[in-house]
Amino acid sequence: DATAELSVALLLSVCRRLPEAAQQVKSGGWTTWKPLWMCGYGLSDSTVGIIGLGRIGQAVARRLKPFGVRKFLYTGSGPKPESAAEFGAEFVPLTRLAEESDFVVVTCALTPATQGMCNKDFFSRMKKTSVFVNTSRGAVVNQEDLYDALASGQIAAAGLDVTTPEPLPTDHPLLSLKNCVILPHIGSATYATRSTMAVLAANNLLAGLRGEPMPHELKL
């Protein structure tokens, strides 16, 4: 839930240019009203593509649906008709998701199949008005290709909560772009979620010391 909330917050921040707008207030850029100043893109009547319709992907779609999203597309290792039914989401190839989505949200796991999947070919298929958000793992994205797509206007904007490496060097080219918002991997950063994570770890440790099966073991 915490990561899904952060994904939506990041998407809204990027598509409505909130960090850029806030900076304009501080720097004196806010003057008289101008018709197209600080205009961005809205979710109403849009198509949202979700890469990885797992628990987080579903939670993101559940939160975006009330914004008036017209259509959900998703891709992954295979169709998930039961999960997709709640949103009327359509399972499509990655290429079609890139071509038709107004917003792309990446919530998949990092595997050999997904590493670098969001690359030059992917971004070249996206609309020039599309917004890209990644809250999964940094290595899913080819950051050099993303920089080129953003700098050239191939896509409108991007929001990242994950990068390669982490922390991202302060002189990284992506940080020089106004249309790219980067957060320091804070998807799970709520007090309640971090407390739950600590309790899970402690219960695993206690069970392991007692020689019992760990209640929240990660099967590798």
What's CA 26's distance to the chain center, in Å? 27
Q: If you average pLDDT over every residue of the chain, what do you get?
A: 97
Indicate the SS3 state at residue 82: helix
Annotated active-site residue 185? The verdict is yes
Cα 123 to Cα 11, 20, 94, 129, 158: the distances in Å are 17, 23, 11, 12, 11
Domain map of the chain by residue range?
1-189
Residue of 185, 193, 202, 204 marked active site = 185
Model confidence, pTM? 0.94
Contacts of 40 (CB under 8 A, 6+ apart): 15, 16, 17, 157
Per-residue pLDDT reduced to its tens digit, 145-187: 999 999 999 999 999 999 999 999 999 999 999 999 999 999 9
Mean pLDDT along residues 103-112: 97
Instruction: Output the pLDDT for position 220.
Output: 77
Instruction: Output the pLDDT for position 37.
Output: 97
CATH T-level topology, domain 1-189: Rossmann fold (3.40.50)
Residues of the chain with pLDDT > 90: what percent?
Answer: 99
pLDDT category at 218 given cuts 50, 70, 90 is: confident
